[in-house]
Structure 1
Amino acid sequence: MDNPRERVLNTASLLFHQQGYNSTGINQIISEAKVAKASFYQHFKSKDDLCIAFLTSRHTFWFSELRAYTQDSVTYTQDSVSHKQSILAAFDFIIHMNNKENFRGCSFLNILSELSKNQSAILSVIQSHKNDLRKFFAEILGEGLLAAHIYLLFESAIIESQLFSSNELVLKSKEIVNHII
């Protein structure tokens, strides 16, 4: 069995993802993780600290999966065909995650919508994740308007697919990418 910190983090990850950050209480996490309250506070000073740990873990998992998914789909070379395939594979990754996670969308944006102005530490983690995503597209396409365009299309595809519980707009986004690259 996992240690108490891992049980709390795994439980919070599921609950934050399924219920949302504000709808998930510390007492529910403690109960479902089967840890003592003192054990929770030994590992996390607050719910916000737990959220930061969750987002940090999610960031690592999500980028590892994205990179594996895009690398398995194409071979990286300097030609535009491979760049295009990489970007298209990234959109396929959205479809994969939607199917795997039942269209729950982006954990980072879901939590962003629940933050208050005084939760700047959580906001900083979210901003860092999104900056890394922008860098991911810039690594493939180079700095510039095209990478920014693809990033914005990618983000909107995630949001719209969550909103409508459908991959239809992700597929349309792939068609757009196919035309602009």
Structure 2
Amino acid sequence: MSRPRERILNTTLLLFHQQGFNSTGINQIIEEAKVSKASFYQHFKSKDELCIEFLNIRYDYWVSELEKFISSTSTPEEKILKSFDFLIYMNEKEDFRGCSFWNILSEIPSDKEEIHSVLRYHKNKLRIFFNDEIKNEAVAAHAYLLFESSILTSQLYRSNELIETSKTIIKNILHPSH
């Protein structure tokens, strides 16, 4: 059996992603991770601290999956379009659960500044990805906003239709003459 911290994190990754932050209690995590309450608090002072660790791990996982998915591309345009295909892949893999970051954001009050700061930090790294690939700030912002809204709308409608539409919009923005 793995170490208590690993079991807590693995359990949290599953529960926060499937149930959300508010619906997952520390007692459930303790029970499902098969750790004592003392052991839990030895590793994490609070549920907020655990949430921050969850967000960092989830981000690292998501980015590594995205990088693998787009690794066969050679041009910035291919990378951007393939990143939208990645959303379709993740929807199929995770049953349209959406973005853990947006899901957590919708659940936590604005006074949880440490969590908000982590959310902004990682979302900003995604914005930088689009800026680095597109080189035009306004177009990159448009692509980023389409990407984020594609995640939200595909979760809402349990459909990849608007991801495909976003790809068409991106092609038209990058090549206005077509």
Alpha-carbon separation, structure 2, partners of 1:2 and 1:160: 37
Residues 82-135 of structure 1, C-alpha deviations (whole Å, 9 max, x = no match)? 121111100000001101111010000100001112211000110011100000
CA distance in 1: counterparts of 2:9 and 2:119, whole angstroms: 17
Q: Deviations over 1:46-71 (max 9, x none)?
A: 00000000001011111111122111
* SS in structure 1 of the partner of residue 97 of structure 2: coil
Letter in 2 for 1:148: A
SS in 2 for 1:103: coil
The 1-side partners of 2:129 and 2:156 are apart by: 25
SS in 2 for 1:21: coil
State the TM-score, normalized to the length of structure 1: 0.94
Select the residue among 158, 163, 175 that pairs with 2:168: 175
Q: CA RMSD in A?
A: 0.9
The match for 2:108 among 115, 133, 142 is 115
1:20 aligns to what? Answer: 20
Q: Pairwise mapping of residues 72-87 of structure 1 onto structure 2 (< 5 A)?
A: 72=72, 74-75=73-74, 82-87=75-80
% identical equivalent positions = 59
Q: Which segment is superposed worse, 117-126 or 154-163?
A: 117-126
| Structure 1 runs (4+) greater than 4 angstroms displaced | none
For residues 123-162 of structure 1, what are the structure 2 equivalents within 5 Å? 123-162=116-155
Matched, 1:103 2:106: no
CA shift at 1:40, angstroms?
0.5
C-alpha separation in 1, matches of 2:127 and 2:2: 34
Number of corresponding residues? 174
Distance 1:143 1:54 in 2: 33
Paired residue for 1:78? none
Cα distance between partner residues in 2 of 1:99 and 1:171: 14
TM-score, structure 2 length as denominator? 0.95
Alignment of 1:37-52 (within 5 A): 37-52=37-52
Distance 1:129 1:2 in 2: 28
- Counterpart of 1:164 in structure 2: which amino acid? Y
3-state SS of paired residue (1:113): helix
